[in-house]
Structure 1
Amino acid sequence: MASAHPIEANLRPAVEIYTAGACGLCAFACVVSPWMLALAPSVGYGMAGGFVVFGGHRFIQAWRVIRYRRGMRRLPRFAVSARRIPVSKRYLWLGRGFRWQVQHTRRLYEAQQPEAQSFLRPSLAYRTARALEAPLERRHLTWLVDALRADTILNPVRPLPPVGGDPALHAVEPNETDIYMPLGERVGHTLVQGTTRVGKTRFAEVLVTQDIRRQIGGGEVVIVIDPKGDADLMKRLYVEAKRAGRLDAFRVFHLGYPEVSARYNAVGRFGRISEVATRLSGQLSGEGNSAAFREFAWRFVNIVARARHALGYRPTYEQILADVVAIDELMIEYGKHALPAVDETAWQQIIEIEGGLNEKKIPRNMQGRDYRVVAIEIYLQRNKVADPVLAGLRSAVRYDKTYFDKIVASLLPLLEKLTTGKTAELLSPDYNDIDDERPIFDWRQVIRQRGIVYVGLDALSDFEVAQAVGNSMFADLVSVAGDIYKRGVDDGLPGADPDTKPTINLHCDEFNELIGDEFIPLMNKGGGAGIQVTAYTQTLSDIEARLGNAPKARQVIGNFNNIVMLRVREETTAQLLTRQLREVMVSARMLVSMASDNSDVDTDTDFSSSGGDRVSTIPKPMLEPADVVSLPKGQAFALIEGGQLFKIRMPLPKAEDSAELPNNLSEIAEHMRERYQTADHWWDDVAPPPITIDNAAPTGFASPGASGADTDADARQPSAAPASAWAGDDIHDLALDTDDED
């Protein structure tokens, strides 16, 4: 719709249609009755051809204006099944839209002028139909109300889609195309912001579908961390894992459903033993006076973790809690293990010392301690033993017991939350229980297997536990990422290549509830290990409130190179996008009318007047915060590829790709829908009716981590739009399903 005129003026009557009609009549006359125009038949045919060409040109111009005006009222429906979502080895498909440029700001400015409102307002018939609905319903004429609201192209007054917002934001460019982001840009991390129920989850489904089906180096790792729990998102991961033939790599970890969840030990794998204390004490407050207690807690957790590691145990939350509460027993167990290696008679001497103790002989700071612990301390005072682990345990037990309980008081509530009830079975798995069929996973194992993991943290039930587990997972990922960066993912395996770094797609929904000090190094340094973070949140203030520090919040935001912003309700959040855009010059039309008297009495002219239009340019922001606030549901602005602005809309889902979940996951999904109600189902009244297909449920799926050998042939080789069809090096346009609406 490019125009050579200073002002395009697309919101106006399509006067070109009159010229096109006149040309059509003239062409008809030239062919049927050339004598009416004093033309010979041979000349009349030539003139008819000329009229047809010119009339066609004018009709195309009129149709562009009509289509533009129609789009301002109602956009065409855009629906795509998951099978038809394009997948590429080079690009990430975001939806359909266009690159926002100067002319789009000009068109939007034109649509906001008072004289253009008559072209944006629904027709009189539409407004009448909506006004009649309530009176007809009161008179129990529901059949007539249903007819007026029928969502079919045969109904000229059907309701607008319930997506709200301003359609003009997307209608300023009627020629939309598929929008792709180079995969190389994802390593710079992506921030998706939008208020509740505007499409964040649907956008996540579109991205996750491509990540699972993208076959690069045996498949990409996909990790979805969902604090609240979205049943449809979990189901999407399962369906796509089955369709891609990767069901054996699929895991579900959910704190709300420990009976069927996979198990995970957040402190069981580490590069250095000190990481155990860091992951645990990192959940404690470090503000003000709490900082000192946090350091004490780190020190004592590190002491017991080192001792258990030296004894050959894998650290768990339950074991740490037991050792912190009863550190005497750990001192005795480690002394019995370490001292005989130094002196074969050491333990016999300790027993003799213990036998001669009484309350009067025990030092005051050791009162309340086990007599054997006191005997070990007396033995070590007499015999120097160079054991750093034992030295750490000695420093802990030499504290007064009452004082020791006070300085670790802030740690105990957190440990008790992580080890209470059935949750303890998930976070402190028993590796020796062969009867427990629930799989145990860790991040290195998931990355090596190119796994797909859904993590439900049940934050609505217990926010503290969800936050602690989420941050521990982030800290664990940082540790694994650092090791992968240095040695590769297959370090320790025969023929390991240190340059092997698989792509790890980490999707964090409501990430403001999880973000902590662990998240910042994950973004700063995780890219070198192949971690690509896509974070979903509502407002900038959520991040500031969680961190309690505005500069730190800006530090986090500064690590996101790509921003996708749906409708937001906070101006500060909208300015995160709009302030990064330059101002543009917009053409404005001004009506000019002047009149002046003539003071010369010798002439016949008493006054003179003039009128006309004056075109000037004024500076305008490319986008204003009000434009972001007015976005319809399912639409967004994307600032990607080094500051290029795109306007996109995501596809509505189709129900034809549904699949049945195994019994255990189906039960979780139903409970999640009943308890959480967080799915963005704004599209239910907009999407086309479902298509019934035959999709058999899998059998023998005993647990979320069971083998995928039972998947059907359709899951292994999808027929409608196989991933391989879109896994080539080049991208081709996809004929997506769209329905034009009047």
Structure 2
Amino acid sequence: MSQRIFDNRLRPAVELWVAVILLGIAAVLILQPGQWSPLMPGIAVWAGLGMVLLALYRFWQGWHILQYRANLKRLPHYVLDADEIPLSRHKLFLGKGFQWTQTHSQRLVEARSPEGRVWIQPGKLYQWARAMELRYEHRPRMQWLTNLTRSSRWWNTLKPLPTVGGDPALHGVGVEDERDTWIDLGDRVAHTLVLGTTRVGKTRLAELLVTQDIRRGEIVVVFDPKGDTELLARMWAECQRAGRLDQFHIFHLGFPDISERYNPVGSFGRVTEVASRIAGQLPGSGNSATFKEFAWRFTNIVANALVALGRRPDYSAIARYVTNIEPLMMEYYAFWFEREGIENWREQVNTIAQNIDPKSLTMALKSRDFKAIAYTQFAKARDLYDPVADGLRSAFEYDKTYFDKLTASLLPLLEKLTTGKSGELLAPHYGDRNDKRPILDWMEVIRQRGVVYVGLDALSDAEVAGAVGNSMFADLTSIAGQLYKHGDNLGLPTLAGHNRAKIAIHADEFNELVGNEFIPLLNKAGGSGVQVTAYTQTASDIEAGIGEKPKAGQIQGNLNTLIMLRVKNEETAAVLTDQLAKVRIYTKTAQSAATDSSEPGSGVEFTSSNSDRITESETDILTPADLVQLPKGQAFALLDGGKLFKLRLPLAGADPLLPKDMQAIIRWVRTERLGEDS
């Protein structure tokens, strides 16, 4: 029974000694067949050859044990050059891995036992080498020795362990079973959540997945709140490799001179989306909820008026007219009166304005322009009604001091979004022929099957980054609704063989982007071909970003595939471990006993016995502590309908197309996109 339960690999490799003995016997039988053996010479030679085969088998067994113990301390080097990354039209490559079962949990328990630790802990010679390197670090005459012990060559048995931290035994218990791990592309529409603390491999995983999406020809949108230039460089290199540089778009708040321009509130399905995207950035809990609703209403009034006038809303226009609504109201009233065909309305309005008695005005209107007041009185006298005009009038008649208090939280946000060069990006002047920077339009990107990098520079201004990223998500949600109903060729002739492309959205630092608009993108946009991969550090980040625990749970419930790298708190680890079944784990306990003899004349003083007792207990197949101890670049994942896999990500290898620095990309944008001289 114990042979089936325990691998019994953490022990001396006695098979190697058996192999040596068998080789010695084989040598005698083959070289001296008739002198040292009672067998006939011909039979002795054949027996010696049989001994050689048996020795090789025993050597393989012993080497297998040594290799298993070595893998518990140091995993084989795993590097993939850019050209070596696998690509499939039907599956997505995640790295090397194996399906985690009860066998691996059993092996992990054995490796962590006091008896097992003896075989996998670094020895005294290894510890001496590390101490010696620190002692002689600043002694030039001893540099040759420290360089020797630090060498990563195969012959150096004292080379330092990789600086990945964690417990390598988590993967070492199954490294012999690992193979390339893939998931079906059809599972990606159910969306993916990647959890992992800082600097443990989330960006490397993102590079791996984005690389395949670009080469597969899909529409790729990468949101990077930090503005990681390494990720941007990787996307640029992959677009060049795939022949898609003409489809590559860059929006980067940290590099406004080369960034494409984008109007976050310029495209919408309903006009109310404009107010929702702006007011959605304001705090909505407690007393702030009332002010948020007022801000939404005033923003919606301005947006409706701008659209009715045939003007595209943008942050600058909203900020201007929320602060001073009179010019917009007068412009719209003039447009309204002309549309209604009212004759001589200008003269009548001027007459009313000249005859206004300031004493007859309310306190709220005494500070207002008399001509603006005349517009409203003229419409009232004629019994004219228009919903947009009525909204403008109601906002106009508020006391200006009271109005400023109601919009006090909205104006600082709008000022941040419209100040400096980033403000020029977010409020593009469509008729400016001197500005050669393209204007990013999501529907155009989708029709051209483009690749978009969005760098939000959150380290410089997190509030602006969150507002822009959230607005982009809301914009994409609106676009997904159009795709679901009409496809990507609305208003265009339908071509034979036209297939709707998948939209792969990768959202790094997901908690800084998430908002209420993101929920329908997850639970309803799958039919539009949208597949979201969200990267964040902890499960609490989502709740902090959305502001409500039920909504955070709703978002997590729509992210069906889960990949978890090293995490630092039990709550996040429980997101994975709570979904796993329990397994039976066996432990072996040595027992010895002695019993005095009950027969004085038998000559037996006592009897003794020794035995191994095997006990069985039910435990978790994986614990939160295991996820805390994951080395960098390793992960557990729930794939293929809830099956648990252990993954190891490849290190980035050579890529001749990777630009050396950001300046190379800047030069490319200026010469190829903006037409400037190099």
Same fold (TM over 0.5): yes
Q: How much has 1:405 moved relative to structure 2?
A: 2.2
Please, which runs of 5 or more residues in structure 1 have no aligned partner? 668-698, 711-742
2:209 corresponds in structure 1 to 207
1:160 corresponds in structure 2 to 161
Q: How much has 1:457 moved relative to structure 2?
A: 0.8
Distance in 2, Cα, partners of 1:108 & 1:341: 79
More off after superposition, 204-213 vs 157-166: 157-166
Q: How much has 1:256 moved relative to structure 2?
A: 1.8
Identity %, equivalent residues: 50
The residue identity in structure 2 corresponding to 1:155 is: N
Q: How much has 1:157 moved relative to structure 2?
A: 1.6
The residue identity in structure 1 corresponding to 2:568 is: R
1:576 corresponds in structure 2 to 575
Three-state SS of the structure 2 residue aligned to 1:338 is: helix
2:625 corresponds in structure 1 to 626
Q: Note if contact 2:258-2:669 (Cα within 8 Å) is conserved in structure 1.
A: no
CA shift digits 1:591-610 (9 cap, x unpaired): 11122223344543332221
Aligned ranges for residues 153-192 of structure 1 at < 5 Å?
A: 153-175=154-176, 176-192=178-194
Aligned ranges for residues 68-83 of structure 1 at < 5 Å?
A: 68-83=68-83
Distance in 2, Cα, partners of 1:461 & 1:147: 44
1:143 corresponds in structure 2 to 144
Three-state SS of the structure 1 residue aligned to 2:377 is: helix
Is 1:391 aligned to 2:393, yes or no? no
Three-state SS of the structure 2 residue aligned to 1:542 is: helix
1:194 corresponds in structure 2 to 196
Q: How much has 1:238 moved relative to structure 2?
A: 0.4
CA shift digits 1:234-284 (9 cap, x unpaired): 100100011111101111111122111111000111111111111111111
1:276 corresponds in structure 2 to 274
More off after superposition, 245-254 vs 130-139: 130-139
Q: Note if contact 2:511-2:542 (Cα within 8 Å) is conserved in structure 1.
A: yes
Q: Note if contact 1:586-1:618 (Cα within 8 Å) is conserved in structure 2.
A: yes
Q: Note if contact 1:488-1:498 (Cα within 8 Å) is conserved in structure 2.
A: no
1:381 corresponds in structure 2 to 380
1:687 corresponds in structure 2 to none
Q: Note if contact 1:248-1:706 (Cα within 8 Å) is conserved in structure 2.
A: no
Aligned ranges for residues 530-549 of structure 1 at < 5 Å?
A: 530-549=529-548
Q: Note if contact 2:251-2:452 (Cα within 8 Å) is conserved in structure 1.
A: yes
Distance in 1, Cα, partners of 2:223 & 2:179: 31
2:128 corresponds in structure 1 to 128
Distance 1:665 1:300, change over 3 A: farther
- The alignment of Structure 1 onto Structure 2 pairs a total of residues equal to 672
Q: How much has 1:548 moved relative to structure 2?
A: 3.3
Distance 1:43 1:446, change over 3 A: same
Three-state SS of the structure 1 residue aligned to 2:264 is: coil
Match of residue 267, structure 1, among 265, 268, 284: 265
Distance 1:388 1:138, change over 3 A: closer
Aligned ranges for residues 280-679 of structure 1 at < 5 Å?
A: 280-342=278-340, 343-495=342-494, 500-601=499-600, 603-660=602-659, 666=665
Distance in 2, Cα, partners of 1:367 & 1:530: 56
Distance in 2, Cα, partners of 1:700 & 1:597: 91
Q: How much has 1:144 moved relative to structure 2?
A: 2.2
State the Cα RMSD in Å. Answer: 2.1
Distance in 1, Cα, partners of 2:447 & 2:283: 34
Distance 1:664 1:390, change over 3 A: farther
Distance 1:507 1:705, change over 3 A: farther
The residue identity in structure 2 corresponding to 1:267 is: V
| TM-score scaled by length of structure 2 | 0.95
Distance 1:700 1:413, change over 3 A: closer
Three-state SS of the structure 2 residue aligned to 1:440 is: coil
Q: How much has 1:345 moved relative to structure 2?
A: 2.3
Q: How much has 1:147 moved relative to structure 2?
A: 2.0
The residue identity in structure 1 corresponding to 2:91 is: Y
The residue identity in structure 2 corresponding to 1:655 is: A
Aligned ranges for residues 708-723 of structure 1 at < 5 Å?
A: none
CA shift digits 1:662-695 (9 cap, x unpaired): 975646xxxxxxxxxxxxxxxxxxxxxxxxxxxx
Match of residue 232, structure 1, among 230, 233, 252: 230
More off after superposition, 396-405 vs 435-444: 396-405
Q: How much has 1:705 moved relative to structure 2?
A: 4.8
Q: Note if contact 2:234-2:658 (Cα within 8 Å) is conserved in structure 1.
A: no
Q: Note if contact 1:506-1:531 (Cα within 8 Å) is conserved in structure 2.
A: yes
Distance in 2, Cα, partners of 1:126 & 1:363: 88
Q: How much has 1:232 moved relative to structure 2?
A: 0.6
Distance 1:603 1:210, change over 3 A: same
Match of residue 702, structure 1, among 649, 653, 670: 670
Distance 1:662 1:46, change over 3 A: closer
2:94 corresponds in structure 1 to 94
Q: Note if contact 1:264-1:442 (Cα within 8 Å) is conserved in structure 2.
A: yes
Distance 1:703 1:317, change over 3 A: farther
Three-state SS of the structure 2 residue aligned to 1:73 is: coil
Q: Note if contact 1:229-1:457 (Cα within 8 Å) is conserved in structure 2.
A: yes
Q: Note if contact 2:233-2:662 (Cα within 8 Å) is conserved in structure 1.
A: no
More off after superposition, 34-43 vs 460-469: 34-43
Q: How much has 1:661 moved relative to structure 2?
A: 6.8
Q: How much has 1:168 moved relative to structure 2?
A: 0.6
More off after superposition, 163-172 vs 50-59: 50-59
Q: Note if contact 2:436-2:674 (Cα within 8 Å) is conserved in structure 1.
A: no
More off after superposition, 369-378 vs 355-364: 355-364
Structure of greater relative contact order (alpha carbons < 8 Å, 6+ residues apart): 1
Distance in 1, Cα, partners of 2:98 & 2:630: 15
The residue identity in structure 2 corresponding to 1:170 is: H
Distance in 2, Cα, partners of 1:635 & 1:202: 11
2:107 corresponds in structure 1 to 107
Please, which runs of 5 or more residues in structure 2 have no aligned partner? none
The residue identity in structure 1 corresponding to 2:150 is: R
Q: How much has 1:655 moved relative to structure 2?
A: 3.1
Distance in 1, Cα, partners of 2:648 & 2:495: 43
More off after superposition, 407-416 vs 226-235: 407-416
More off after superposition, 436-445 vs 395-404: 395-404
Distance in 2, Cα, partners of 1:294 & 1:435: 38
Distance in 1, Cα, partners of 2:631 & 2:221: 29
Three-state SS of the structure 1 residue aligned to 2:175 is: coil
Distance in 2, Cα, partners of 1:512 & 1:663: 26
Q: How much has 1:520 moved relative to structure 2?
A: 1.7
